[in-house]
A = this chain, B = another copy of it.
Amino acid sequence: MRLAELSERSGVPTATIKYYLRERLLPPGERITATKAEYGEEHLRRLRLVRSLIQVGRMPVATAREVLAAADDESLGQNARMGAAVWALPHGPEPEEDDPHAARAREQVDTVLRRMDWSHGQELGDNAPAYRTLVAAIASLDRLGYPHETEHLLVHARLAGELAVADLDLVETYGTPEQIEAVVALTVLYEPVLLSLRRLAQTEESSRRFKK
């Protein structure tokens, strides 16, 4: 398809598509004349992912480019590419060094991973951005004197595990080459779904418990 059709089918203005091409967020089309290029389904798919990252995930172009580079890294296997692309997504704050709260939080995270039998997370530890964000989040709870019992964290972990199963079932409805892109897009697009459902559920539950 030509640029005009790519724009129409994706709903992305042609000027924006040209910008993404210049920024190498989108691979070039196949040149057919000096001024015309042909685009395929893979461009449409990539364009959707770029929109997910930049418009919904509000990522800077440089971050989006890193995420895509990881997803496209052919030196890695399928699972490593998924992992690398998700790691390149923006994540929460980092734990502070030499912070006694972070040191305690780290031990607690290791206990949670062990109890969940999440061996991959145990091996990766500090190398995984999500591990570090979790340590930082628990360190904040500890520093501010809010509860963070292991049993309560395990409730969150168990539910996160069930979600991951449902989310990856969804990813597996995609063909192999598209699965990496789908994991990245769904990770970004479902975070606000989950957080808003949690707040709605809380409203519901608290109106049940505290009548007025």
Binds B, one of A13-21, A32-40, A65-73, A157-165: A157-165
Number of copies: 2
A22 to chain B, nearest CB (A): 22
Chain B residues whose CB sits within 8 angstroms of the CB of A170 once the complex forms: 147, 152
Chain B residues whose CB sits within 8 angstroms of the CB of A118 once the complex forms: 200-201, 204
A102 to chain B, nearest CB (A): 14
A143 to chain B, nearest CB (A): 7
Known: A79-B211, A164-B205. Contact between A198 and B189, CB under 8 A?
no
Q: What is the 8 Å Cβ interface bit string for chain A, positions 178-212, against chain B (1 contact, 0 not)?
A: 01001101110111111111111111111101111
Question: Which listed residue, B79, B136, B171, B204, touches A207 by the CB 8 Å rule?
Answer: B79
Chain B residues whose CB sits within 8 angstroms of the CB of A171 once the complex forms: 206
Highest count of chain B CB atoms <10 Å: which of A161, A173, A201, A204: A201
